[in-house]
Amino acid sequence: MPSPIAHAVSGYVLSELFPLKSRPFHQGKRYHWESFAAVFIAIAADFDFIPQLLTGERFHRGLTHTLLFTVGLSLVIGLLGSRFKKFSAQKLIGWTLIIYGSHLLLDIFTAGGSGVQIFSPFSDVSIQSSLPLFPGVHHSRGLFDLSHLVFIGWELGYSGLVLAGLSFWKQTQSQKFVE
């Protein structure tokens, strides 16, 4: 499964591609609160490891990795955000669906493991791409196993590519405003 590196970068890039409020590319502020919110939302599905650490029960890739949870969380964030931040609930719900949903999508494209039961509790079918984009992680080998260097290198390569693509896109968009 992708680590918080890939999930965070994906959330950040999606928040730049689909901003909640339009902002000029030459604006002085480099980072916005929605970038940090997007990173948090993109990683949030993996916070299911906390109850797993506390109880010893298996929670990872459970409820937080389902479409039902994704929709529910998006509705809560959308309704609360529209009430307190004066955003359109529809726009905030859609934005959250995209950002949080990116986590599930990246997990589907991981080698190894049992896939993701995104339709749970309605179906026990696990979804996993036959064309994985991310190598599997061997947690049983411990935190400091050298095999993790391949995984981390792959994640950094993915992140670099995605950020380079965003940078290129921003340059083309800012040139449209100059012309």
Q: What is the pLDDT of residues 120-176, one digit of tens each?
A: 999 999 999 988 888 877 666 766 777 778 888 999 999 999 999 999 999 988 777
Q: Give 36's contacts (C-beta < 8 A, 6+ positions apart).
A: none
**How many whole angstroms separate alpha carbon 48 and alpha carbon 157?**
26
Q: Whole-number mean pLDDT of the chain?
A: 86
Q: Give 14's contacts (C-beta < 8 A, 6+ positions apart).
A: 38, 42, 98, 99, 102
Which pLDDT score, from 0 to 100, does residue 80 have?
Answer: 92
Residues β-bridged to residue 110: 134
Using one digit for the tens of pLDDT, what is the confidence trace for 80-111?
A: 988 887 788 999 999 999 999 999 999 999 88
Which pLDDT score, from 0 to 100, does residue 28 have?
Answer: 55
Residue 1: pLDDT over 60: yes
CA distances from 66 to 63, 93, 114, 117 (A): 6, 16, 14, 6
Residue 24: pLDDT over 70: no
